[in-house]
Amino acid sequence: MSVTEDSELPPGLALAWGVPVKTTKLGRKPSQSVEQIVRAAVELADADGFEALSMPRIAQRLGLTANAIYRYVRSRDELLVLVAEAAWGTAPDLASGSGDWREAANRWTRAMIDRFDVHPWLCDLPVRGAPVTPNLLDWTEAILEVLTGAGLTPTEALSCAFVLDGYARQIGGMRRDLRSSTATPAQSDAVARFLLPRLRERGHSVLASMMDGDDYTDDVVDDDVTFGLDRILDGIAVLVTAERGAKPAEQGD
């Protein structure tokens, strides 16, 4: 790849595909590798969150000077692309299941949620557009194969994948925020004693009955995830059924 071609690519794209790029040359021979820089960044984010992903802190973790890290990556934007690629990792194997599109889509979405549980800071990474790096493209292709195999057009499949992706990110973000919250839980005795009479005064009978029965909670349990995901899959199922019903008519025209 020429320098001109490389300069026209988004930050991190060439490195994510294993293509060497021109970086700052600072005298001594590099003591680290891009892979070591990325690994250190992931470990730092896992320990201290997204805010820890600064070039000086990563350099310090590796015993480098603040400037020396630019031997390996040209900017923080470039590093974030590589860190995301590493943290997402290998896409789930959806071909090994029952062959049912719904079961495969369920596994794909839950695999995303699991990634957010393992690396909560992924919720904070800016979304810079459609996937273009190897692992993220593998994740995308996996769900597109499932949904187009069910009869959806590629455009419909991509739109459905976008909805599933958004749901996984929402659940991941809520779980992360609740785990890190220092607020008193809504189901605590003190909160219930304070709120119950006020809810009844306002006529909030449904909320009052839920709180009185310990059903009003700020946890995101598996039943909550399943309920929401099932409703999304129900909607996709309507689209799949419509597409399958339309094909015979189209073929007969």
What average pLDDT score do residues 119-129 get?
91
Top-tier CATH class for 101-182+220-252: mainly alpha
- Domain extents for the chain? 3-88, 101-182+220-252
**134 near 175, Cβ under 8 Å?**
no
Q: Are 220 and 228 in contact (CB under 8 A)?
A: no
User: DSSP assignment of the chain, as one string?
Assistant: --HHHHHTSPTTHHHHTT--------SSPPSS-HHHHHHHHHHHHHHH-GGG--HHHHHHHTT--TTGGGGT-S-HHHHHHHHHHHHH-SPP--TTS-S-HHHHHHHHHHHHHHHHHH-GGGGGSPP-SS--SHHHHHHHHHHHHHHHHTT--HHHHHHHHHHHHHHHHHHHHHHHHHHH--SPPTTSHHHHHHHHHHHHHTT-HHHHHHHHTT-------HHHHHHHHHHHHHHHHHHHHHHHHHHHHHHH-
**What is the predicted pLDDT for the residue at 108?**
98
Per-residue confidence (pLDDT) for residue 29, from 0 to 100:
59
pLDDT at 98: 75
pLDDT at position 251 over 90 = no
Range among 15-24, 75-84, 174-183 rated most confident:
75-84
Structure tokens at 183: 């607020």
Three-state SS sequence of 137-187 = HHHHHHHHHHHHHCCCCHHHHHHHHHHHHHHHHHHHHHHHHHHHCCCCCCC
Does the CA dihedral 202-205-211-217 come out positive or negative? negative
The pTM score is 0.87
**pLDDT tops 50 at residue 4:** no
- Residues found in the chain: 253
Taking residues 94-104, what's their average pLDDT?
A: 87
Q: What is the pLDDT of residues 208-226, one digit of tens each?
A: 999 998 888 888 888 899 9
Q: How far apart are CA 100 and CA 46, in angstroms?
A: 35
CATH 1.10.760.10 for the 3-88 domain, yes or no: no
CB count within 10 Å of CB 54 equals 14
